[in-house]
């Protein structure tokens, strides 16, 4: 095998019915990447770490520090650490790619005090 890793998000069990965390399967240590397939009405729990959200399909709302940002397909938004955010999906299925640093090594809400890892508790529940 060359100097790369490949995975299909559909082969990864989703967290909270929507979030496929790719970083562990790709053995990424510096970048967190997740594919999120949101069913109608899906919301994640508010959380706060640096992230970039890219909406691939449809329209959705991302609330950042209380401000509702209406996103359309192709829109990307950078959210700084410390800003609280939440995806609020509307009436159709939507697809997001989420990118964060450092890479998440957590796949459940019980991450503990693991150094350099962020908890996925914003997506579980």
Taking the domains of the chain in order of start, what are their residue ranges?
34-125
List of residues 6+ apart from 108 with CB closer than 8 A: 15, 120, 124
The better pLDDT of the pair 14, 106 is held by 14
For the chain, the first-to-last Cα distance in angstroms comes to 38
- How high is the pLDDT of residue 111? 42
pLDDT (tens digit per residue) in 93-120 = 899 999 987 654 444 333 444 443 334 4
- How high is the pLDDT of residue 37? 92
pLDDT at position 47 over 90: no
Backbone angles phi, psi at 47, to 5 degrees: -155, 175
The topology under which CATH files domain 34-125 is Jelly Rolls (2.60.120)
């Amino acid at each position: 095998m060359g100097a790369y890793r490949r995975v299909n998000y559909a082969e990864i069990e989703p967290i909270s019915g929507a979030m496929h965390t790719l970083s562990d399967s790709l053995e990424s240590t510096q970048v967190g990447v997740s594919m999120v397939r949101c069913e109608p009405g899906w919301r994640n729990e508010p959380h706060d770490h640096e992230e970039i959200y890219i909406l691939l399909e449809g329209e959705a709302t991302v609330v950042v520090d209380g401000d509702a940002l209406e996103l359309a397909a192709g829109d990307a938004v950078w959210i700084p650490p410390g800003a609280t955010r939440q995806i609020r999906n509307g009436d159709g299925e939507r697809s997001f790619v989420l990118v964060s640093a450092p890479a998440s090594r957590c796949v459940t809400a019980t991450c503990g005090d693991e150094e350099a890892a962020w908890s996925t508790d914003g997506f579980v529940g």
